Structures are given as structure tokens and as C-alpha cells.
Amino acid sequence: MNIIAIDIGNSNITVAFFLKDSEQFIKSVAAGSSGAKDEFGKLLVEAWEQIPYVESPTVRKRDGVIVVSSVKDEWTQMVTGVCKERLDEKIKLIGKDIPLPIEMAVDNDSEVGTDRAIAAAAAFAVVEDAVVVADFGTAVTIDLVDEEGVFMGGAIFPGFEVAAKALETGTAKLPKIEISKPMDPVGGNTRDAINCGLYYSAVGALETITRQYAEQVGKWPQTIVTGGAAGVIKDDCEFVDSWVPNLVVKGIVLAYKKFLSKEDELAELGYKLQEERAGKKK
């Protein structure tokens, strides 16, 4: 299968290209930058031009698909426009054109970001048991999938960038910093104290929330972390089983394959019903 999987987040647009199910590249664009549209367009064309054409004497069309997960409508419109302008292709949007690939046990499915649902589905597809999926991005989401593969919901709190900015803008003298692994857990100056506070808050929140989930499912679930900031804290999270960068784009591919599988099942069912009706008429 040839697929361009696009994850539109709150800060970045990640483009993953799979040719015959083999990963060719995964690259991210800072969506808020002035050259984001052009940079995204170049990545898109780079991938699309490697996809072979459908073997047909009458149709000249590339044998590929563009599948998108998005949490930001404004950037979805931009991506849709670039795909049309540069490739004359339509996107398939998860949650609209493609259903979520996991059963949901939340109050309102539409309120859950598709990135959370498909990352959870991808994690469960590997673990096949209760699993916690923590995504450290602009916001941090820590979600629980039970042992039956049902998305139960989760917790959301500010990511490092948002939290650091809040301290800067909400106080008179605190500076904005970039979070890194502390050299010492006791900050000897204001910048180090902020760094320690935000860093260990994230580590502590992940452990505490995971423990609460474990009590709910009756066992300690496997824990998977992903997202741009996950690499910063993973070494201090001994209870974490796996660090999987770009879990969302892998979930996009899974969602599309599940969709195709369901379509094939429905087509086969329809064919069998037609055969049964034809047999009864005889």
C-alpha cells in the first residue's frame, strides 16, 4: 500500500510516506511559520512523485492515498488546498471519511481528538492488552485503553511550551525557559527551579495517573509514550515500557487499513446476499 499519512497537530504538521508499506520518511513542518505552506507542498510532491501509476490503459492515476488526522481546522483547510493545487487529489479525513479504528467509551466521540484515538488504537494493536498512551506535545494527553481494546478516555494538561509560557506571561518576573533534563533536582536559581518544577511535574503526573488507571483495570498496564517532548522525560520514567516517536502517523495507517478491511467485508457480504437472493428466485 502507498500512503501519505498527515498528522496535523497544534504546533506541527507531520508528513509520513509509506511506499508498498515501507516507511520512506517522516518529516515535520512548523505549521505556524511563514514558509510552512511551501515546505509542506514540497514534501507532499516529493512523496507523491515516487508513487507508481495504476496499471490501467485508460486511467492515468497514481496508486496512492492521502490520509489525514487533524486537531486544527484552519490547517486542515490549508492541507486540503495544497493537495488539490499541487496534486489534484482529495484527502481522506479520519473522523469524517474514515471512522475511528477503536471502540470509544466516552461521553462524546466527536470531542476526542482523532490523534488520541488513533494513537491508542495503534498501541493496542501491538500490546493487545490494557495500555496507557501518553502523548507529550503542545498539550499532554494520557489515555487508557482497557484489555478489550476500548478507549476509556484520559487526562489532559498543558505541555512544556504552554506551561512555560503561562509562567512567563502570568507573572511579573519569571522568565520563559526551554525544558531539559535537570542536572540537579534542586534548582539553584530561578531558571533551574522552573525547569525542575515543570520537568518533575510531568514525570510525576504520568506516574500518578498511570497508577490510578492501574487501580481501575486491576493491573499495571503497559505504558507507551510518544510526542515531541517525550524524549526529554523518558529516561526518568522507569515504569514506561516503550517510547514510540510518531505513533499518531502509524495510527493513521492502521485506521485506513481497518477501513479498507471493513469495506471488503461489506462488499463480500453484499455479494453473498445477492447470490442468496438469486438462488431463492430459481
Query: Domains plus CATH for the chain?
Result: 3-93 (3.30.420.40), 103-166+207-249 (3.30.420.40)
Q: What mean pLDDT comes out for the span 135-164?
A: 96
- Is residue 7 part of the annotated active site? The answer reads no
pLDDT at 31: 85
97 half-sphere exposure, CB direction, 13 A CA radius: 13
pLDDT at 130: 96
pLDDT at 57: 76
What value does the mean pLDDT of the chain take?
91
Residue 276 grid cell: 442468496
Length of the chain: 282
pLDDT at 2: 96
Candidates 115, 135, 143, 146; catalytic one: 115
**Cβ-based neighbours of 116, under 8 Å, separated by 6 or more:** 133, 135, 141, 143, 151, 154
- Give the residue with greater pLDDT, 95 vs 228: 95
Least confident of 117-121, 203-207, 273-277: 273-277
The arrangement of strands across the sheet holding 12-19 comes to 22-30, 12-19, 3-8, 65-70, 92-93
243 half-sphere exposure, CB direction, 13 A CA radius: 14
Angle at 115 between CA 111 and CA 121, to 5 degrees: 105
pLDDT at 235: 83
Percent of the chain with pLDDT over 70: 93
pLDDT at 147 over 80: yes
pLDDT-derived band at 28 (thresholds 50, 70, 90) equals very high
3-state helix, strand, coil in the chain (%, to 5): 45, 25, 30
**Cβ-based neighbours of 218, under 8 Å, separated by 6 or more:** none
Q: What mean pLDDT comes out for the span 207-214?
A: 96
pLDDT-derived band at 269 (thresholds 50, 70, 90) equals very low
Q: Which of 176, 241, 232 is nearest to 214 (CA)?
A: 241
User: What pLDDT, in 10s, does the model give residues 244-265?
Assistant: 989 999 999 999 999 988 776 5
User: What pLDDT, in 10s, does the model give residues 50-97?
Assistant: 999 998 778 788 999 999 999 999 999 999 999 999 999 999 999 999
Residue 99 grid cell: 471512522
User: What pLDDT, in 10s, does the model give residues 163-180?
Assistant: 999 999 999 999 999 999
pLDDT at 278 over 90: no
Backbone angles phi, psi at 224, to 5 degrees: -120, 130
pLDDT-derived band at 212 (thresholds 50, 70, 90) equals very high
